[in-house]
Amino acid sequence: MSQTIKAAIVGTGFIGPAHLEALRRIPNIEVTGLVEVNQEVADAKAAELGIPNAYTFENMLKDESIDVVHICTPNFLHFPQAKACMLAGKHVVCEKPLSMTIEEAEELVKVAKETGLINAVHFNLRYYPMVRQMRVMRQKGELGDVYSVMGSYLQDWLIHKTDYSWRLDPKQSGGSRVVADIGSHLLDMTEYVTGLKITAVMADFSIVHPTRLKPLKAVESFSGKALDPKDYEEYEVTSEDYATIMLRFDNGRTGSIVVSQVNAGRKNRLNIEISGSKANYEFNAEKPNELWIGKRDTANSILMKDPALVDEGARSLVSFPGGHQEGFPDTSKQLFKEVYAAVREGKQPESPTFPTFADGLRELIIGEAIVESNAKEAWVKI
């Protein structure tokens, strides 16, 4: 492979440009292609984002110069597009959820294994340096035995009846919304940091707005823009706005998480608290450069993100000195650094440090059990 790795991005909603911005901060990676729903839209978006080539998806597959494809489209397109890219010999970074069903994800894992291509899922929130720090400290025995996990992921961008996104359409997003969208990040982080496996779930969903007003004009996610009353039509909502989930782990302990997109003032608040026999760790993504460490017999402390203070296992995720804040955009950069290091080697690592299609499958299995639990009003084993 030449020194410069060439990439294409499929989709230009909220997350596509976030991938682009992160990739542009990594040396020897060039985003040379942009894919959209048709050539006209692709041309316009490529010009807007400063990407030299615009394609339809089928034409992008034919371009042998493109090494890696980032799939940033609505959920229902993840499976067919990821599969087509791998069959065309291209490495894939896919947004979560990996697919709409477990069966589709299993097929993607199989194709990835057969082709040997690099495959990654964008669980970028585990790439906050202080999240990696928690994992390293736990691996070193500083947390002790895990007693419990409490987590929440709260947003407010769907609090109004007039708020709309393609994620509200089950044909595009699947049967679950808030759990699949943001809950998957929190569940992935829980298993990643603790080293435990979730063995059973008990879930309760709430639909705050059984009917919503769908805009007849395009409105981008998180834009907060309002339209006139005549620009809306009423429709029925079938996916959850809010979910409470109890967890059981393979060490016999329990936990709980709450996920919501209707909590006013919470713009993107992921919070996780892990209680152990030796210490208690709390991380809040709205204060991403801090890790709270609780103790029983000595003073509590706050560890600030600083390459001179974090453990060696977390240092690779810190790009700036202490006091220089790093946040959400940096998580994607750090994830992509590890993915593209594998791309440069030309093969999927035996023990990847980044989340793979197998991790994407794992979250679909947990997510489906959560949906089943809510429907049955009962514990469901995983």
Confidence tier at 146 by pLDDT (50, 70, 90): very high
Q: What is the mean pLDDT of residues 110-124?
A: 98
In which domain, by residue range, is 75 found?
A: 5-117
What CATH number should be reported for the domain holding residue 101?
3.40.50.720
Q: Give the mean pLDDT of the chain.
A: 95
Q: What is the mean pLDDT of residues 251-278?
A: 98
User: What is residue 25's predicted lDDT score, i.e. its pLDDT?
Assistant: 98
Residue type, 47: A
> Is 371 inside any structural domain?
yes
* Same domain membership, residue 166 and residue 22: no
* Same domain membership, residue 131 and residue 104: no
* Same domain membership, residue 10 and residue 155: no
* Same domain membership, residue 159 and residue 50: no
- pTM of the shown model: 0.94
Confidence tier at 220 by pLDDT (50, 70, 90): low
Of the residues 87, 117, 147, which one is the last residue of a structural domain?
Answer: 117
Of the residues 75, 97, 117, which one is the last residue of a structural domain?
Answer: 117
pLDDT digits (tens, 9 = 90+) for 344-357: 999 899 999 999 99
> Is 271 inside any structural domain?
yes
What CATH number should be reported for the domain holding residue 353?
3.30.360.10
345's tokens? 């080697």
DSSP three-state, residue 341: helix
Q: What is the mean pLDDT of residues 194-220?
A: 91
Residue type, 189: M
CA angle 274, 277, 278 (to 5 degrees): 90
pLDDT exceeds cutoff 90 at 263:
yes
- Cα separations in angstroms, 76 against 11, 173, 331: 13, 6, 25
Percent of the chain, pLDDT > 70?
A: 97
* Same domain membership, residue 90 and residue 161: no
Which residues are CB-neighbours of 338 under 8 A, at least 6 positions away?
352, 353, 354
Task: Return the closest-CA partner of residue 201 out of 211, 215, 187.
Answer: 187
pLDDT digits (tens, 9 = 90+) for 21-55: 999 999 999 999 999 999 999 999 999 999 999 99
Specify the number of domains making up the chain. Answer: 2
* Same domain membership, residue 58 and residue 21: yes
Higher-confidence position of 225 and 279: 279
* Same domain membership, residue 222 and residue 76: no
* Same domain membership, residue 195 and residue 94: no
pLDDT exceeds cutoff 60 at 232:
yes
DSSP three-state, residue 272: strand
* Same domain membership, residue 153 and residue 11: no
> Is 185 inside any structural domain?
yes
- CA–CA distance, 332 with 249 (Å, rounded to integer): 28
- CA–CA distance, 304 with 360 (Å, rounded to integer): 31
Q: What is the DSSP letter of 345?
A: H
* Same domain membership, residue 130 and residue 113: no
CA angle 32, 34, 38 (to 5 degrees): 145
Residue type, 23: L
- CA–CA distance, 45 with 76 (Å, rounded to integer): 22
Percent of the chain, pLDDT > 90?
A: 93
Phi/psi at 138 (5° precision) = -65, -40
> Is 341 inside any structural domain?
no
